[in-house]
Chains A and B, each alone.
Chain A
């Protein structure tokens, strides 16, 4: 039981509990724990020893505890970093230096005292190769590791180093989840995009202290996710004034080039590498230090990312320019209180967002995006065993899409201004023209969207740790509650309320260019979608004996997501119990056997609720010249091209089932880890994740033939030429994922660190992500279940660095990373006929999902070399990185399209080429 030192403390505890309940508090996992075990030479516990810890990262100065009857002293909510432990006892004293505390981990440091009172021994601390108390499947990427191995300088890229993380682009598949099923946390707050479930912030890389990537097995305090969790924790500064500036320039155009590949009849099926553009410039600066020593620290960070990347054959590069500005103030006015204020902005513009050879400069679009994250946090260290964490976060993101502003700079080659047109004008009036069959997108971008997403997040957490159990052992209790109020505002429309569609009647033959059809579209629309999420958790890490940890707890989540009419489309109250246990069979901190089960729930995103929003466009479809007698290759059954062929009403016919439930994942795991020699562990981690009740619509109106390729009737009457979709959570919408990691880990010591893992995965299912459409064509149900894109059977990841021991400290560091991915399953899809008169047609399968073929495997090796350069003051470091050292060019994405459009297996994505990154970093 908690024993309060006095009544006043007890009163404060009660007051705090009341405050927690009243203030709608929440949780955060933004630190680590340190358990110091003081022993004598007989390995018997030493109680009443004074244990003090300090670190450059620890604001408030040295922390002090007295070891309990088990010789243990527990320090919680420590910022990640290297710590010094000083133990003083009647049996002697000992100092351990460089003891690593990592995010979400409990470092157990055993220290022996001997020699009698007044003696002092200094030992080198270690980073445990095996965390014997953790039951999560997770990886912590430390700043040291990220600064030395070759990896992209974004958190989205860096997490690729983690086993079980696959996929391309900024949103990865984590632990078999979809790209929009991850949760992103920043200093303990959920900053996941409330609409899409994807990442929402580009972030200052230099300000990140550690990244924790969780695939499963994690405790309720981490929140909800049916994918993985990416937990970012930022630096706070230190008592030293520090200034860091760095510049990186990456060029992929210097690499050897490949010729294009053509089919027998001359179609380019794999693009040439000769005319592609690949340049990235990153500038970073950071200043941090004390305002008041040990009391108030600050960090200011600015990063600019500029990239010009064009796929081969496209003249206008995707022009990305982002500015990330971060400021954080941490104040610890007394031992008991720590206050943090945090603001981060990431305004960004992306020009030429369509990377297609069939888009002319004047038809290119710009996406302006970014937002602001503000956080205010109060950590109250009521007693060594009790602390609370109150936080309030407001986040606003925006995405604005329109035409690329015109320019008179012909050399730039971007959207050219018309004669007399003012520089930088965006044309909101002229309709855009979209091409198909190889016809160009032309004239104007033609579409605009202003999208604001706002989250209000109050949260609070109460930690009561190191509580002795009357029956033996100790408990670390944690409780928390969280609220998340979400708003999504959209304003969108089409320039001139018209969209013109052109085509080459013979695909890719420009001599057969014709106007295909025209859509007259209703005016701009503006609407709001809202949602609320409330969660609470209780969990305990119970150690009945010193070598067994039982992690158990439960989350309760209640949520509602509403459409633009305010109707609750998805809602629910969900329980997410977890029960995991870890056993250190030899009690030597070198072996872990962990197993357990947990349920992880999905509390929805606004994008799913929007499925039944009423706001939308009405349109009238008019045939173009392709359908008239005049066209050379036209179909010739219409003599009047102005004839209106069909119309779509504005009202959405989509409905929601009255009793959807929430998607959930049940996970079972078996983790085996053993430190076989000092600092070197071998690993065998197995997990099965079973996802059920994914959000999927079915179709209520249309009746299909035996394989779903043609319509033979409609339930709502023969004249009802429209589809009626119904949002459901059917049991058949599921995923079965199995992952087995076999690997070795060498923690950082003796100048090197490395990790290598072979991962076998099997991922079968019928729903790739929410609203994938797998169930809209009833007969296709027979082919729905099969290998998914995460079914990469064999993946190898290895990364490490070595400080070349020429001098002490080393001045040269070599980093290496290597990846191998076996090919992912690929589908061939065919076109079903759909409803005549405006209905939806579908991608049709003739065999089970994912069984048509597999991509070829692809691999790459990356090398990084850093050399310290002597300067009079500070540290200057040169950094040379070669990505994709062997310039491998394997396809990473194919596009089959539909069979009726002359499908070819066009390779639309390849490995990034050999890139050279040159960097300079100065620290003072």
Chain B
């Protein structure tokens, strides 16, 4: 008589869902070369090479069935893709993924598809980077060159109807909790090798295990990543769709432009968006334990 309730109670205590869901964390490393550029000033003079984490584009990390080396599909290491049937694109069918740095609408038409989150300390940093580092000053709606971070902040607050920098969600926050926001709060930090490293988390990933590798209990998916590096002249990102995005919703402030948004099939068909100058990982990582914290290095420059 008493067995049934005790069993039910015990079963309740040991309940587990019939699948395993984990937060998968690790580190992505971008080689120093990816953060180094030679800028040509307005007079056509090539400046000395400059290394700056602001040159690093959005990083896309995907969990794929497997990874292949360079072959006829792509000239660089890439995820295995399904067959192309008719006009249907070959699809890599990712299990999951995330980003390090997100494409953001930065409140000016001229900045559509040019700004990645957590690369800049503050709005002054954005303005000076485009104006003084890239020599790509941008204009406001009245055609005036934006000279100050304050103007950018006010424009963002006005346009997005927000009240704090945190809500604009573009610049860094006090990640290291030292009471101030500075370069140490940016996502990518230089490591001992002179490369740049950033943490990532793939939230609530359902673990899938490879039936052929039960003994090793390895996940059936491999982590692979690539960096969409900005174009040399316009500092644009290929993974950004500038005919879509925030402008659609802005209403009275919309002036026939869109803020840009990330393309929704980046992880499905990465080869559509990987171009010369981008960096990909030459080795994938396979989780054997959800607590593993892999370091994935984007060590292959696409030519």
Contacts and interface: CB of A to CB of B under 8 A. Distances in A.
Contacts of A505: 251
A657 B254 CA distance: 43
A269 interface: no
Interface stretch (B1-9, B126-134, B285-293): B1-9
A636 B258 CA distance: 12
Interface in A889-921: 899-904
B93 A717 contact: yes
A719 B82 CA distance: 13
B98 interface: yes
Contacts of A714: 264-265, 268
B169 A707 contact: yes
Nearest to A834: B264
Interface string A147-177: 0000000000000000000000000000000
Contacts of A659: 17-18
Interface string B161-205: 110001101000000000000000000000000000000110111
A574 interface: yes
B68 interface: no
Interface string B245-267: 11011111010100001111111
Contact of A782 (B4, B160, B166, B203): B203
Contact of B252 (A506, A782, A831): A506
Contacts of B266: 712-713
A836 B12 contact: no
A711 interface: yes
A718 B204 contact: no
A437 B98 CA distance: 33
A693 B95 CA distance: 25
Interface in A691-730: 693, 698, 700, 703-707, 709-719, 728-730
A196 to B, nearest CB: 25
B268 A713 contact: yes
A657 B203 contact: no
Interface string A77-88: 000000000000
B166 A833 contact: no
B99 interface: yes
A463 B98 CA distance: 60
> Size band of the B side of the interface?
35 or more
Interface string B1-44: 00011101100100101110101000000000000000000000
A262 to B, nearest CB: 16
A704 B201 CA distance: 12
A836 B60 contact: no
B264 A711 contact: yes
Contacts of A778: 96, 203-205
B16 to A, nearest CB: 8
Contacts of A836: 244, 264
Interface residues of A, number: 63
Given A714-B268, A846-B167, A904-B161, A556 B8 contact: yes
B89 A718 contact: yes
A573 interface: yes
A661 interface: yes
Contacts of B203: 778-782
Contacts of B243: 637
Contacts of A711: 262, 264
Contact of A705 (B167, B246, B262): B262
Most buried by A among B60, B243, B245, B264: B264
A828 interface: yes
Interface string B94-109: 1111111111000000
Given A778-B204, A900-B246, A706 B95 contact: no
A718 B261 contact: no
Contacts of B167: 828, 830, 846, 899
Contacts of B18: 657-659
Interface in B142-170: 160-162, 166-167, 169
A847 interface: yes
Contacts of A830: 167, 169
B261 A833 contact: yes
A556 B4 contact: yes
A712 B246 contact: no
Given A712-B264, A715-B96, A833-B261, A574 B12 contact: yes
Given A657-B18, A710-B262, A835-B264, A900 B94 contact: no
B230 interface: no
A184 interface: no
A380 interface: no
B166 A712 contact: no
Contact residues of B: prevailing secondary structure: mixed
A704 B205 CA distance: 11
A635 interface: yes
B214 interface: no
A831 to B, nearest CB: 7
Nearest to A716: B93
Contacts of A781: 23, 203-204
Contact of B249 (A573, A636, A664, A901): A901
Nearest to B59: A706
A904 B21 CA distance: 37
Contacts of A706: 98-102, 200-201
B62 interface: yes
A625 to B, nearest CB: 16
B162 A899 contact: yes
B124 interface: no
A846 B118 CA distance: 14
A712 B62 CA distance: 10
B269 interface: yes
Interface string A605-641: 0000000000000000000000000000101110000
Contacts of A664: 12
A263 B29 CA distance: 48
Contacts of B262: 705, 710-712
A573 B8 contact: yes
Contacts of B80: none
Interface string A386-429: 00000000000000000000000000000000000000000000
A713 B98 contact: no
A577 interface: yes
Contacts of B103: 710
B91 interface: yes
A507 to B, nearest CB: 6
A575 interface: yes
B46 interface: no
A875 B97 CA distance: 75
A332 to B, nearest CB: 35
Given A575-B8, A729-B17, A719 B88 contact: yes
Nearest to A852: B167
Contacts of B246: 900
A224 to B, nearest CB: 14
Q: Most chain-A CB neighbours within 10 Å: which of B6, B95, B261, B262?
A: B262
Interface of A: 437, 505-507, 509, 554, 556, 573-575, 577, 599, 633, 635-637, 657-659, 661, 664, 693, 698, 700, 703-707, 709-719, 728-730, 775, 778-782, 828, 830-831, 833, 835-836, 846-847, 899-904
6 pairs of A and B residues whose beta carbons are closest in the complex: A713-B267, A575-B8, A718-B268, A718-B265, A900-B249, A778-B204
Given A711-B262, A781-B23, 8 more contacts: A575-B5, A703-B98, A706-B200, A712-B99, A712-B267, A713-B267, A714-B265, A778-B204
Interface of B: 4-6, 8-9, 12, 15, 17-19, 21, 23, 60, 62, 88-89, 91, 93-103, 160-162, 166-167, 169, 200-201, 203-206, 243-246, 248-252, 254, 256, 261-269
29 contacts: A506-B252, A575-B6, A657-B19, A661-B15, A703-B97, A705-B262, A712-B99, A712-B262, A712-B264, A713-B97, A713-B264, A713-B267, A715-B95, A716-B93, A717-B91, A718-B89, A718-B91, A718-B265, A718-B268, A730-B17, A775-B204, A781-B203, A782-B201, A831-B249, A833-B261, A836-B264, A899-B162, A899-B167, A900-B250
